[in-house]
Structure 1
Amino acid sequence: MPRRDQAAFAEFVADRSASLHRTAYLLVGDRGLAQDLLQEALTKTYVAWPRLRDPGKAEAYTRKALTTTAITWYRRRSWGERPVDSVPDSVADRPADGLADDVATRDLLWQALQGLPPRQRAAIVLRYYEDLTEAQTADVMGCAVGTVKSQVSAGLRTLRTRLGDRVTDSDLVPLDLLEVTR
């Protein structure tokens, strides 16, 4: 790759790594695995970089590589090894004051999100946390817009069933507190 392209790629990585790592973390729930998936996605982007002159296309390409790599990882993983955290049985298990309440809500949502099938989780992360349109999400996931709608609908239905009224749809809006800190 020419030196000029290497510099552009390095700038892209410096500018977008934090956001892409956050997406990877939301997809898999593990910092180390998120870093591995991001590295794999960036490697794929590096190989394709000469064809990706537009930075917007590079980000979309990397996000798609990240999502498909995460889904592939879950498919290969044994279901017997998949960790599932239990959700508290009652609202009484939640702290009652301000920020602690927000943190508890976020943790409940986080646990339930990790229990979703990979494609539903990917659709919800891309739509609600990355704020992509249905068409953009479909492009990233490599599926039809209708599939995105059904995956999001099924995922939200599962979250509502698991969480009841402890978490509302507005809790899916990204928060500044939702940084990769785990």
Structure 2
Amino acid sequence: MGFDQFVTDRLDRLLGYATAITCDKHLAQDIVQNVLLRAQGKWERIGAMDAPYLYVKRMVTNDYLSWRHRKAAREIAVERGELARHAPAMADPADAHAERDAMRARIAVLPRKQRAALVLRFYEDCSDTEIAQVLGCTESTVRSQLSRALQTLRTHELARSATLGVHS
């Protein structure tokens, strides 16, 4: 498969994956664009692989986990916090978008590797082996990252419920 066909077939999925791990549509677009530019230059080698999509997904993950985007991600989180404090309370007419945004806010509290592991498992439906391949770690590390991520999410949800006075 040629590079252009790969991009045509996989761009939406790469953008969806990148948006899920970054919790930011614009940062995800930047990452995918940078990765695809680099991949295009190496496409002869990448395209000959058994699973070029997994390789490119790993490039996206590595770019997200790299130091280059940490500052941008922190600035975006601060801006969102500032905007949320000053924005008027309005109901979102699109329930699907509201739920997706709520999930992004929940997973945004996770460390980067835990967030990536969680997205790979539940959004991309990857096995431990595939996640380990994308993250460049062992399967036991994947299971540990997932366990910690889920525990953190449970703890935050319980704290949020207690703050709101909600009893399960």
TM-score, normalised to structure 1's length? 0.70
Structure 2 residue 15 is matched with structure 1 residue 15 = no
> Whole-Å Cα distance in 1 between the matches of residues 160 and 98 of structure 2?
10
Q: Would you say how many aligned residue pairs link Structure 1 and Structure 2?
A: 149
Q: Select the residue among 121, 125, 138 that pairs with 1:131.
A: 125
Residues 1-182 of structure 1 correspond to what in structure 2 (within 5 A)?
Answer: 8-54=2-48, 57-73=51-67, 76-77=70-71, 81=75, 83=77, 100=95, 106-164=100-158
Tell me if the contact between 1:113 and 1:121 (Cα under 8 Å) persists in the aligned partners.
yes
> Whole-Å Cα distance in 2 between the matches of residues 18 and 56 of structure 1?
21
Which 5+ residue runs of structure 1 have no aligned equivalent? Answer: 87-94, 168-182
The CA deviation string for residues 88-147 of structure 1, in whole angstroms up to 9 with x for no partner, is xxxxxxx9xxx85x7665443221101111100000001110001000000001111111
**RMSD, aligned CA:** 3.0
Which 5+ residue runs of structure 2 have no aligned equivalent? Answer: 82-90, 162-168
> Whole-Å Cα distance in 2 between the matches of residues 139 and 48 of structure 1?
19
> Whole-Å Cα distance in 2 between the matches of residues 74 and 51 of structure 1?
25
> Whole-Å Cα distance in 1 between the matches of residues 123 and 44 of structure 2?
29
Tell me if the contact between 1:74 and 1:118 (Cα under 8 Å) persists in the aligned partners.
no
Identity fraction in percent: 35
What secondary structure, in the 3-state scheme, does the structure 2 residue paired with 1:154 have? helix
